[in-house]
Amino acid sequence: MQACEIRRNGGPENLVLCERETPRPGAGEVAIAVAYAGINFADILARQGLYPGAPPAPSVVGYEVSGRVSAVGEGVDPAWLDREVLALTNFGGYAQTAVVGVDYLWPLPPGLALDVAAAIPLNYITAAGLLAMGGLAAGDTLLIHNVGGGVGLAALELAQQRGAQVLGTASAGKHALLRERGLAEPIDYRREDFVAAVRQRTGGAGVDLVLDPIGGAHWKRSLAVLRPSGRLGMYGISGASAPGLRGKLGLARLFAQAPWFHPARLIPGNRGVYGINIHAMYEQATLFRRWMAPVLEGVAAGRLQPRVDRVFALAEAGEAHAYIEARRNVGKVLLRVDPPAAAQSPPAAGTAPAAT
């Protein structure tokens, strides 16, 4: 099969299309003929050699896919065969075939396109987990950093469904679309001090919950906008890819700038701090299914509308990574995975092949 592998740690040019042995499903697993694979910042950090738990290079990353079940392993209901599904993968998504446990895939909701389906698993499970762990309730005020990203847009939709008031930071070029998605007053983090902006928009009260994927000193500033009983939810450290901070030394510098989360400060400050990393809790399939159930119900009912920003070919994975690192996307970036040539239908008799 074709796959796009990280040949060595470093820049986007180290993502290379290659041939790999097609994996086969074991007991309790299925093989998926991948149609689309989602790209996440975890993939970028893995490529840079900064993501804990990522397989060593050369490796194939990718946390989520959509496609068709092509084979089932021992103990799996054969009714899954040929069904269109979306799945949460434990790496291995940038390939024509991905193998996952049956507990990590869901049937495609009726009428949902395969590309949109690939934008759901990791982003919406992460967003749902962040809101559940943060105890977001109707009437609460939430601040989402990088609200134009995949997790940010998912959290915006889910928070609005709960009746929360949402503030969010994003570059000015994304504001028009964010307003269309229901964010009344986006904050331009490049031109505004978000701490001052949040205080101004909340009358000095602060917010109940902050979702922050950036890390380092940015977490300190997020703590500063929490009201009493407020919570800070951390789900990434995208600041590690910023110019001047890349590499393990840069990552160490970023963590050195992070706040000191000690009970002696948290208790009198009346604030809570937590983090979430889906890969580090990948065995919690029951929890993922609980978080995913209302998401898929909302998608099927039209209340939730995952947004695909751009689709790249599998061979263009490096370009896709660079596009995300430049903060150009509003929503999900995907890889389109074409089937093996032998699996494609031959042209009808008497017709010429399409021009390329």
What pairing do the DSSP bridges indicate for beta strands 105-107 and 15-19? unpaired
Give the C-alpha separation, 308 to 149, whole Å: 10
Lowest mean pLDDT among 84-93, 248-257, 280-289: 248-257
AA letter at 67: G
Nearest to 144 by CA among 153, 136, 135, 132: 153
CA–CA–CA angle 238, 265, 258 (5° rounding):
20
Task: Give ∠ CA 141-176-197 in degrees, rounded to 5.
Answer: 40
pLDDT in tens, 111-121: 999 999 999 99
Using CA atoms, how far apart are residues 269 and 261, in angstroms rounded to an integer? Answer: 11
Domain positions in the chain = 2-120+306-341, 129-279
Q: Does 350 score more than 50 pLDDT?
A: no
Report the candidate in 212, 237, 208, 236 with the shortest Cα–Cα distance to residue 222: 212
Residue with tokens 């939810």: 233
Q: Which CATH superfamily is domain 129-279 in?
A: NAD(P)-binding Rossmann-like Domain (3.40.50.720)
Task: Tell whether the model's pLDDT for residue 346 goes beyond 70.
Answer: no
Q: How far apart are CA 94 and CA 34, in angstroms?
A: 8
pLDDT-wise least confident of 90-94, 124-128, 197-201, 248-252: 248-252
pLDDT class of 53 with cuts at 50, 70, 90? confident
- Predicted confidence (pLDDT) at residue 245 exceeds the cutoff of 60: no
Average pLDDT over residues 320-346: 88
Instruction: Report the percentage of the chain scoring pLDDT > 70.
Output: 92
226 pLDDT exceeds 50? yes
Which CATH code is given to the segment(s) 2-120+306-341? 3.90.180.10
C-alpha 244: how far from chain center: 24
* Average per-residue pLDDT for the chain: 92
Give the residues across from 24 on adjacent strands.
Answer: none
| Residue 355 scores a pLDDT above 50 | no
